[in-house]
């Protein structure tokens, strides 16, 4: 098991490196001009060259990748205008436009996104699994049809439309902005509740359908019939025998979804004004802010490979037949 | 209720009950109909099935897939969903009417008075719970006992069904058991509450031949010890000869022949039973070509008129006035023996068997 995890971590690292190199390549292949953006409309060639030099943009791209990777692992020094500044590992450089270390920006933005995504997950897992289980048990009834219909309607709305609708009409929800959980948990929760409901309800639709399908399959299994033949009460048959088996596939989807939501919380963040990873990335895009972009790519790819690993490890607890190795 | 100290006298009581076997039936099915309304029409899975079974005896229900043998036995355990199945007729277990019981009443009946072993122990055991867990659950569902007592009982049952090292094995998951051990565990689970009726639905079909024999021996042993009534569903006539006292042959949802095993296998009275016998390969002597029953089993959506078997029957022309096609025969004694009944219009079927079929058998 430990050896397996080690192997997986090694392969995860290589995935992250490939992702970073690919992002670098894409950035330099695209017609980007970060120095020009910083320099502004009244730019002189000397000033442009100065800026390029201070951002290390004058170096060949391969060298830039090299020093970036070095910074990630052991840290690096930046020289700008004769002043040398040391950037500790993991160093992701300085934002071109904000002048702050990317690591610091990510450290501020990540907890916001994580709070949104985890809180939303609590909502959609509980609503989705409960609704899916109930619908599966009453398969074919009006209640089941209404449930499935509702999920289809909710799912056919683009996510940002749903979020806008909540923002426009659910004005009774607190709008206190983001506060750190460590400073004030109550204020933290009240600032996030609208985002949680939006993310939660939109995804609850999909999770209702996953759970319903998984539950219908599991309730048709022979072991459910065995449980009934033992005289096990109906409720216990459904929840202990049926749901237990139905949750494994749902857990797989959840792990992957969680990783994607961490990198795709942009709509939720911008509509509810929460300064998370999505907002940071969007701003970096608009301003050709390569270090910040790379930083969020890094966080996203780490989240993805980490969630994949966690799902696989969770499987050994969910399903005793699974042995990693 | 039951613990180690009271077990011995109980077994004696069972043996005494088994002696009274022939007097009163423990399981009595009369005119059972099971139908499933579907989008394609009404599936008539069981049509007017009647049989009775005293304690201490084994009844084999034989027939092809779709003949209604499993469906009728699931009805005995009340396992059909009231929303999808229409059940009429009567099923009495130990004098108590089972049809029409509430789900709650059925829950306290299942596993206590009657228990079931299924065909595929691999899929019938829950893959996420240990074998011991599943046996304990069956026990604790019906008794207020501590987990420790239930576990001791699970170990005892595993030991009883011949699982080596039961104290350690009780904590294994089903996938850590072999196929034969899984079926043994299923049997242990079914018997944990001392049910007086055991229904075994093709319990050896999914197992290796050598393991099959062991499981059959185990079931016969346990039946002898517990004096229970056993319904054994199978399509393997070799198995029937080995373990059954009585046979019920089913075709298209009806019993077509019924009687003591030596009578039905010795002098079968129905052309379908003849076909089954002719389909058994000979293990000794010259290899001879098998003589399969022509055609396929009928759809239960549209059961043939008259005798359901007539489209496949090579003897239907011997019955005058096309009666096989128009009139469903009754299940009656067709020979001097009143205990051996058959649903066939043929005149003197025992003679036909002797002259036409017997020479063809290996």
What digits encode the pLDDT tens for the residues A42-64?
888 888 888 887 777 878 888 88
Contacts of A254 (CB under 8 A, 6+ apart): A121, A125, A207, A311
List the CATH number of the domain containing B112: 3.40.50.300
Tell me the average pLDDT across A214-232: 95
How far apart CA B226 and CA B194 sit, in angstroms, is 8
Domain with B324, as residue range(s), is 251-360
**Residue from A217, A241, A239, A219 nearest A230 by CA:** A241
Contacts of B108 in chain A (CB under 8 A): 231
Taking CA atoms, B314 is separated from B71, B90, B298, B324, in Å, by 28, 35, 16, 11
The tens digit of pLDDT for each residue in A75-133 reads: 888 776 667 778 887 888 888 888 888 999 999 999 999 999 999 999 999 999 999 99
Query: Out of B128, B137, B175, whose CB is closest to A244?
Result: B128
On whether both B55 and B106 belong to a single domain, the answer is: yes
Share of chain A above pLDDT 90, in %: 39
Q: How many domains does chain B have?
A: 2
In tens, the pLDDT along A12-22 reads: 999 999 998 89
Instruction: Show pLDDT as tens, one digit a residue, over chain B (362 residues).
Output: 444 444 444 444 444 444 444 568 999 999 999 999 999 999 999 999 999 999 999 999 998 888 899 999 999 999 998 888 999 999 999 999 999 899 999 999 999 999 999 989 999 999 999 999 999 999 999 999 999 999 999 999 999 999 999 999 999 999 999 999 999 999 999 999 999 999 999 998 888 888 888 899 999 999 988 899 999 999 888 889 889 999 999 999 999 999 999 999 999 999 999 988 888 877 776 777 777 888 888 888 989 999 999 999 988 888 888 889 999 999 988 888 888 999 999 988 888 898 888 888 76
End of a domain among B203, B219, B244? Answer: B244
Q: Which residues of chain A make contact with B107, given a CB cutoff of 8 A?
A: 231-234
Same domain, B230 and B272: no
Predicted confidence at residue A32, as pLDDT, reads 74
Cβ B259 vs Cβ B246: under 8 Å: yes
CA–CA distance, A148 with A126 (Å, rounded to integer): 17
Specify whether B260 is located in the same domain as B198: no
Enumerate the residues of chain A whose CB falls inside 8 A of the CB of residue B73. none
Residues B240 and B289 in one domain: no
Backbone phi and psi for residue B250, each to the nearest 5 degrees, phi listed first: -110, 145
The segment(s) of chain A belonging to CATH 1.10.3720.10 are 102-318
Asked if residues B26 and B84 have their Cβ atoms less than 8 Å apart, the reply is no
What is the SS3 string spanning chain B? CCCHHHHHHHHHHHHHHHHHHHCCEEEEEEEEEEEEEECCEEEEEEEEEEEEEECCCEEEEECCCCCCHHHHHHHHCCCCCCCCCEEEEEEEECCEECCCCCHHHHHHHECCCEEEECCCHHHHCCCCCCHHHHHHHHHHHHCCCCHHHHHHHHHHHHHHCCCCCHHHHCCCCHHHCCHHHHHHHHHHHHHCCCCCEEEEECCCCCCCHHHHHHHHHHHHHHHHHHCCEEEEEECCHHHHHHHCCEEEEEECCEEEEEEEHHHHHHCCCCHHHHHHHHCCCCCCCCCCCCCCCCCCCCCCCCCCCCCCCHHHCCCHHHCHHHHHHHCCCCCEECCCCCCCEECCCCCCHHHHHHHHHHHHCC
Q: What is the least distance, in Å, from the CA of B143 to any CA of chain A? A: 12
Query: With bands split at pLDDT 50, 70 and 90, how would you rate the model's confidence at A266?
Result: confident
Least CB–CB distance from A231: residue in B120, B124, B142:
B142
Strand partners, B61: B233, B248
Contact A222 B123 (CB under 8 A): yes
Confidence of residue A325 (pLDDT cuts 50, 70, 90): low
Closest chain A residue to the Cα of B108, Cα to Cα: A231
- Asked if A64 contacts A24 with a C-beta cutoff of 8 angstroms, the reply is yes
Average pLDDT, chain A: 88
Strand order in the sheet with B96-97: B41-54, B25-38, B86-93, B96-97
Q: Are residues B229 and B322 in the same domain?
A: no
Measured between CA atoms, the residue of chain A closest to residue B195 is A230
* Nearest-CB residue to A222 (from B107, B120, B134): B120
What's the pLDDT score for residue B316? 87
B124 touches chain A (CB under 8 A): yes
Cα distances from B348 to residues A287, B266, B325, B344, B351, in angstroms, run 100, 15, 19, 10, 6
Co-location of B229 and B161 in the same domain = yes
* CA pair distance A79, A56, nearest whole angstrom: 9
How far is the C-alpha of B88 from the C-alpha of B32, rounded, in Å?
Answer: 6
pLDDT score of A239 more than 90 = yes
The angle subtended at Cα B259 by Cα B257 and Cα B264, nearest 5°, is 70
Q: Are residues B119 and B261 in the same domain?
A: no
Note the pLDDT of residue B23.
Answer: 63
Which CATH superfamily hosts domain A102-318?
Answer: MetI-like (1.10.3720.10)
B223 and B84 inside one domain: yes
Contact B112 A231 (CB under 8 A): yes
pLDDT at B29: 95
Hey, are the CB atoms on B127 and A318 less than 8 Å from each other?
no
Structure tokens at B19: 């002696």
* B186 in contact with chain A, both atoms CB, cutoff 8 A: yes
Cβ distance of B126 and A234 shorter than 8 Å: no
**B-contacting residues of A 217-276, CB under 8 Å?**
221-223, 225-234, 241, 244-245
Q: Are residues B236 and B262 in the same domain?
A: no
Q: What is the spatial distance between Cα A111 and Cα A276, in angstroms, rounded to a whole number?
A: 7
Predicted local distance difference test score (pLDDT) of residue A80: 67
On whether both B59 and B109 belong to a single domain, the answer is yes
CA angle B4, A230, B59 (to 5 degrees): 90
Instruction: Name B213's Cβ contacts closer than 8 Å, sequence gap at least 6.
Output: none
CA distance B310 to B26: 34
Q: Which residue in chain A is spatially nearest to B199 when comparing CA positions?
A: A229
Domain boundary among B244, B263, B283: B244
Question: What is the model's pLDDT at position B184?
Answer: 93
d(C-alpha A133, C-alpha A209), whole Å? 9
Phi/psi at B42 (5° precision): -90, 120
- Looking at beta carbons, which residues of chain A come within 8 Å of B138? 230-232
What does the pLDDT look like over B274-286, one tens digit per residue? 988 888 877 776 7
Q: Chain B residues with CB inside 8 Å of A228's CB?
A: 79, 110
Q: Provide the 3-class DSSP secondary structure of residue A18.
A: helix
Nearest partner of A38 among A27, A48, A24, A46, judged by Cα: A48
């Amino acid at each position: 098991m430990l050896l397996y995890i080690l192997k997986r971590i090694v392969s995860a690292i290589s995935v992250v490196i490939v992702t970073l190199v690919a992002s670098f390549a894409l950035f330099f292949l695209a017609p980007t001009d970060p120095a020009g953006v910083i320099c502004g409309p009244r730019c002189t060639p000397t000033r442009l060259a100065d800026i390029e030099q201070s951002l290390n943009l004058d170096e060949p791209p391969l060298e830039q990748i090299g020093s970036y990777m070095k910074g990630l692992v052991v840290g690096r020094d930046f020289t700008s205008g004769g002043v040398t500044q040391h950037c500790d590992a993991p160093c992701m450089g300085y934002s071109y436009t904000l002048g702050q270390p990317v690591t610091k920006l990510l450290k501020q933005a990540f907890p916001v996104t994580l709070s949104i995504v985890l809180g939303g997950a609590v909502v959609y897992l509980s609503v989705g699994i409960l609704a899916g289980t109930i619908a599966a048990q009453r398969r074919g009834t009006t209640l089941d049809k209404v449930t499935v219909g509702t999920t289809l309607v909710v799912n056919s709305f683009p996510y940002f439309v749903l979020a806008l609708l909540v923002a426009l009409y659910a004005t009774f929800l607190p709008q206190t902005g983001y506060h750190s959980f460590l400073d004030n948990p109550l204020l933290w929760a009240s600032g996030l509740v609208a985002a949680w409901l939006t993310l939660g309800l939109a995804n609850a639709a999909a999770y209702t359908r996953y759970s319903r399908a998984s539950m219908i399959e599991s309730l048709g299994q022979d072991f459910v019939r065995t449980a009934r033949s033992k005289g096990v009460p109906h409720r216990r048959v459904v929840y202990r025998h049926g749901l237990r088996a139905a949750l494994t596939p749902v857990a797989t989807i959840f792990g992957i979804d969680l990783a994607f939501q961490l990198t795709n919380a942009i709509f939720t963040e911008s509509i509810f004004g929460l300064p998370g990873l999505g907002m940071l990335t969007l701003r970096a895009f608009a301003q050709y802010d390569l270090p910040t972009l790379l930083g969020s790519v890094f966080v996203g790819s780490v989240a993805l490979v980490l969630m994949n690993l966690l799902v696989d490890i969770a499987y050994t607890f969910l399903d005793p037949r699974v042995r990693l190795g | 209720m039951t613990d180690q100290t009271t077990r011995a006298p109980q077994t004696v009581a069972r043996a005494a009950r088994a002696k009274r076997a022939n007097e009163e039936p423990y399981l009595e099915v009369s005119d059972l109909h099971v139908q499933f309304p579907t989008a394609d029409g009404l599936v008539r899975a069981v049509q007017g099935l009647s049989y009775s079974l005293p304690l201490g005896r084994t009844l084999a229900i034989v027939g092809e897939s779709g003949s209604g043998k499993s469906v009728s036995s699931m009805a005995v355990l009340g396992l059909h969903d009231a929303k999808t199945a229409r059940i009429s007729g009567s099923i009495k277990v130990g004098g108590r009417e089972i049809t029409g019981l509430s789900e709650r009443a059925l829950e306290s009946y299942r596993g206590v008075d009657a228990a079931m072993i299924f065909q595929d122990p691999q899929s019938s055991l829950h893959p996420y719970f240990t074998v011991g867990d599943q046996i304990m659950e069956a026990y604790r569902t019906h008794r207020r006992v501590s987990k420790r007592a239930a576990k001791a009982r699970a170990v005892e049952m595993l030991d009883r069904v011949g699982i080596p090292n039961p104290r350690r094995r009780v904590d294994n998951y089903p996938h850590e058991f072999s196929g034969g051990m899984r079926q043994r565990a299923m049997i242990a689970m079914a018997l944990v509450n001392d049910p007086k009726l055991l229904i075994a639905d093709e319990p050896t079909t999914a197992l290796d031949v050598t393991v099959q024999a062991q499981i059959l021996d185990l079931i016969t042993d346990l039946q002898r010890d517990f004096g229970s009534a056993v319904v054994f569903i199978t399509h393997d006539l070799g198995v029937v000869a080995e373990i059954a006292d009585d046979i019920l042959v089913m075709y298209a949802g009806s019993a077509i022949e019924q009687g003591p095993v030596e009578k039905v296998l010795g002098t079968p009275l129905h052309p379908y039973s003849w076909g089954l016998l002719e389909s058994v390969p000979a293990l000794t002597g010259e290899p001879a070509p098998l003589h399969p029953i022509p055609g396929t089993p009928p759809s239960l959506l549209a059961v043939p008129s008259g005798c359901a078997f007539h489209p496949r029957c090579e003897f239907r022309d011997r019955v005058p006035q096309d009666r096989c096609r128009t009139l469903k025969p009754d299940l009656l004694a067709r020979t001097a023996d009143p205990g051996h009944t058959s649903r066939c219009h043929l005149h003197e079927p025992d003679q036909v068997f002797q002259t036409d079929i017997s020479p063809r058998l290996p």
